[in-house]
Structure 1
């Protein structure tokens, strides 16, 4: 294996900013042309799906770009046609929907963990390509990403979450069990690709051991999948504020403000800098 080059943070942030501006242009085009876009994000736990979705949506209008991350199906949903609860979240004209996991749960966690019967699993593999073909023929632009992470990198990320109080909630018993059944998931993924990686609806694999690279690669590819043009908008000018016309603001003492914790932190920060500066001067005197 050759040398692995990693983007520096400064280059990554510069390129990400450029891509996010293009995502805004893409969203404006989708709205103007009434396109309907579905993007599926699949992959193992801690593969980086959520991080990529976050960077895609950061600068977009949430009214037209929606993230769907469905939980465990209800008893009523379990009695429905399998794809039914996903159909309810498909986009209207001018919208883009990002599925953070999708109907492919049936081919992954449901199969490995025994949440479906063998008959239900096989029926999904047979019917999924037809379902996606229907979506595409109806005019939906369907793009599917598989985030591929190595077992070593997944272990490192799991351990990082375990040791971080702010992210420990991301680790569940299901995650630990899926880690133990790594090989079973590999077999399930290979079978899923064999049935659903079609010419009309292919899977696009994103190598995600390096998070920054995965995000840049995924967003760049997404932008290349939908031909678009920048829509020019009229120059926006802020109107002047109307005259007060006798308005008198109520006294500030009548309002309840949140404590200014930030100001206190800034004050203590400046005090620490002053003390450090004085200390350095004393050290210089000792050196002389």
Structure 2
């Protein structure tokens, strides 16, 4: 068989070969991002430790052993103990559950508000001006003083209504989520403004599709990239904000530890047992760093201008 005939025979096979789909391309790009894969591994390890660790390491984080107070790391207490003998490793695992729960829940609230505002402002011209002025107003507010004032005003009321732990959880999640949606709204609005002039959206309008159907079927699926990146960054921002509030003594009660609360409690004894601030600080740093790397990997993988390089 000649070379020309062999080439002709090979053409149908290349045509019949299945093409690699969008999400397979995204995964291919993501798994070749070394920082993102390292972030996934570290974040998965942290999740495993805080979720399943208490089932393996069964020490009660509230158990007081005065004889072992301010102990350095040992086999009995891998991360040492605090000033009244409570195990720091057990407290780190329990605090991680709370900190991650706050971060993920506040991120979902922020993402919902930001995406809704961004889509409405970008798609409906008459809503663009009022919604963007509200966004600018929230951006101009001093966030940390606002958080402090809201907590001081509503903390006791929510504690009395839902209990000391649940009430503070609702309050912190709400104030973090309601004050961190603005960047997502502005990013989503910019993408929607570009998308609504694309041919497939104009075609849907021309056949009489209602606005809500166009948004749900055509607009939202095409703005998943900035939404997913904002989600990863929102988790990191919420964890840092909650840690800052707890460090200032305005978060959860002292007997309900979070990573920020552990930092606050250990700051007084930092010269005596520096490990009390090293371990929660390291947990916060690794979590935020891993989530940020995952966000970088998602951004690169979902960007068609970068994917395939």
TM range, normalised to the smaller chain? under 0.3
TM-score by length of 1: 0.27
